[in-house]
């Protein structure tokens, strides 16, 4: 996790509630964030998979893009991302990447078509750079950072029931739908999505209604507050990338096994092929395959292999682990990392250097645990 110095740490609008709920605060991406609550990482993780968890992810960036008309806006945004923006229906959301000229990844994000504008959610550590990048490279597009809203995520198989008790219409939403719902007396912007591999919602709520909403949710006996620790182990089991660790400016979307976020229209032979930063490398890798690939890695035994552990095969260093932890739901250590394409095949055995010894690691498919979305 991208820790920064303790000074200049920003408090979340819900800092008081986190303290009251027993949140243990740590610096993360410039914010003081709860890493866990009284239940602890393991219980928080398992509770989210069994019932529902509430995450405060207000550190993330919320941005609205407006253009002369929806098509102009979509085509403009397509100049920065390999995702198809044109063709995304109103009320729907998609995962996308901002790429650089070298074909690396500047950030990963969610963007939603809300009729006359796009609503974009970006990573906290990247938000200032993303906004500057969009302002410079999207002439004629208004880039508005939303700074008066919290972002809460309600995740888990019990999320629908818990949120529907406050607003029954959310039960009708399908995975990656977005909509406007009144919660705690305020207009909230909701998507049915998340970062855990579970069904759930992300809720953009005005700052002045956020505490009432968060309290109403944690008062539900099925909902526990969940910190960053469990957020990390949940996303890792779900095979989801953490920016700055599993993906960065040096990894291409194809190397990162995120080619599913590049729709057909943007690929060679598509209606709007290329036209995004780094297209040459990315389209070439889509055709011929990348030289290295992000894979799931299952260390044998119980010892977690974390970020930075080097991977070895035939006596040579061949790659590196980019994220790793103990997976409470799979009841085993889980990692992700990059390997040369020839080794990036599920079932391949490699070794990880752990405390001066080489320990066996099996290449596995991702996710470690099937997703539980409401399609």
Partner 1 sequence: MKFTEEHEWLRAEDDLIVVGITEHAAEQLGDIVFVELPEVGAQVNKDDEVVVIESVKAASDILAPIDGEIVEVNEPLVEDPGKVGEDPTGEAWFFKIRPADPSQMDDYMDEAAYLAYIG
Closest approach, Cβ 73 to partner 1, in A, equals: 43
The encoded tokens of residue 46 equal 């398992």
Q: How many of the chain's residues bind partner 1 (CB under 8 A)?
A: 16
The 10 Å Cβ neighbour count of residue 9 is 16
Rg of the chain's alpha carbons, rounded to an integer? 20
Sign of the CA dihedral running 80, 84, 86, 91: negative
Which residue in 14, 41, 178, 238 binds partner 1 (CB under 8 A)?
41
Which residue in 9, 216, 303, 353 binds partner 1 (CB under 8 A)?
303
Residue with smaller CB distance to partner 1, 302 or 375: 302
254 φ/ψ sector (left φ>0, alpha ψ -120 to 50, else beta): alpha
Q: Does 89 contact partner 1 by CB under 8 A?
A: no
d(CA 253, CA 97): 8
Distance of CA 243 to the CA centre of its chain: 8
Which residue in 200, 239, 290, 333 binds partner 1 (CB under 8 A)?
333
- Taking contact as CB under 8 A, which single stretch among the options 77-85, 268-276, 299-307, 362-370 is the one that binds partner 1? 299-307
Residue with smaller CB distance to partner 1, 36 or 81: 36
Q: Does 229 contact partner 1 by CB under 8 A?
A: yes
Q: Does 357 contact partner 1 by CB under 8 A?
A: no
Residue with smaller CB distance to partner 1, 42 or 167: 42
**Cβ-Cβ contacts under 8 Å for 77 (sequence gap 6 or more):** 65, 85, 111, 118, 138, 141
Closest approach, Cβ 120 to partner 1, in A, equals: 32
The encoded tokens of residue 18 equal 């986190």
Sign of the CA dihedral running 267, 109, 239, 360: positive
Q: CB of 290 within 8 A of CB of 90?
A: no
Q: CB of 93 within 8 A of CB of 106?
A: no
- Taking contact as CB under 8 A, which single stretch among the options 189-197, 251-259, 303-311, 364-372 is the one that binds partner 1? 303-311
Helices (H) and strands (E) in the chain, counts: 8, 20
Q: Does 330 contact partner 1 by CB under 8 A?
A: no
Q: CB of 296 within 8 A of CB of 364?
A: yes
Q: CB of 123 within 8 A of CB of 97?
A: no
d(CA 214, CA 369): 28
Which residue in 9, 10, 32, 42 binds partner 1 (CB under 8 A)?
42
Closest approach, Cβ 194 to partner 1, in A, equals: 20
Closest approach, Cβ 334 to partner 1, in A, equals: 11
Q: Does 326 contact partner 1 by CB under 8 A?
A: yes
What track of x and - describes contact with partner 1 for positions 18 through 37 (by CB under 8 A)? ------------------x-
Residue with smaller CB distance to partner 1, 89 or 302: 302
Name the 3-class secondary structure at 106. strand
Instruction: Find the binding residues for partner 1 in span 231-270 (CB under 8 A).
Output: 233
Residue with smaller CB distance to partner 1, 31 or 37: 37
Nearest to 43 by CA among 200, 219, 221, 230: 230
Closest approach, Cβ 19 to partner 1, in A, equals: 18
Which residue in 7, 288, 347, 355 binds partner 1 (CB under 8 A)?
355
Which residue in 218, 325, 334, 339 binds partner 1 (CB under 8 A)?
325
Q: CB of 214 within 8 A of CB of 14?
A: yes
Interface residues toward partner 1, by CB under 8 A = 36, 40-43, 229, 233, 302-304, 306, 325-326, 328, 333, 355
């Amino acid at each position: 996790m991208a820790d920064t110095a303790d000074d200049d740490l920003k408090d979340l609008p819900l800092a008081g509630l986190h303290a009251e709920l027993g949140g243990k605060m740590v610096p993360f991406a410039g914010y003081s964030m709860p890493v866990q609550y009284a239940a602890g990482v393991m219980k928080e993780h398992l509770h989210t998979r069994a019932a529902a968890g509430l995450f405060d992810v207000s550190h993330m960036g919320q941005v609205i893009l407006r253009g002369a008309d929806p098509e102009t806006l979509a085509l403009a945004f397509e100049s920065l991302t390999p995702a198809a923006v044109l063709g995304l229906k109103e009320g729907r959301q998609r995962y996308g990447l901002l790429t650089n000229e070298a074909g690396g990844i500047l950030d990963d994000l969610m963007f939603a078509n809300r009729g006359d504008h796009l609503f974009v959610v970006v990573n906290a550590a990247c938000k200032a750079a993303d906004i500057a990048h969009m302002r410079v490279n999207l002439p004629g597009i208004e880039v508005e950072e939303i700074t008066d809203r919290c972002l809460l995520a309600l995740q888990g198989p019990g999320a629908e029931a818990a949120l529907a008790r406050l607003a029954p219409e959310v039960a009708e939403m399908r995975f990656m739908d977005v909509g406007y719902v009144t919660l705690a007396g305020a207009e909230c912007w909701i998507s049915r999505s998340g970062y855990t591999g579970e069904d759930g919602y992300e809720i953009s709520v005005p700052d002045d209604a956020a505490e009432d909403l968060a309290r109403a949710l944690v008062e539900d006996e099925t909902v526990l507050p969940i910190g960053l620790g469990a957020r990390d182990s949940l996303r890792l089991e779900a095979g989801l990338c953490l920016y700055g660790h599993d993906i960065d400016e040096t990894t291409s979307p194809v190397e990162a096994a995120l080619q599913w976020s590049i729709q057909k229209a943007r690929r060679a032979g598509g209606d709007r092929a290329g036209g995004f930063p780094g297209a040459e490398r990315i389209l070439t890798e889509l055709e011929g395959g990348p030289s290295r690939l992000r894979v799931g890695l299952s260390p044998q035994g119980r010892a977690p292999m974390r970020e930075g552990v080097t991977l070895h095969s035939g006596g040579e260093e061949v790659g590196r682990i980019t994220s790793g932890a103990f997976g409470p739901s799979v009841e085993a250590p889980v990692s992700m990392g990059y390997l040369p394409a020839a080794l990036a095949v599920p079932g391949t055995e490699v070794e990880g250097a752990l405390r001066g010894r080489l320990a066996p690691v099996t290449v596995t498919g991702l996710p470690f645990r099937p997703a539980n979305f409401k399609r």
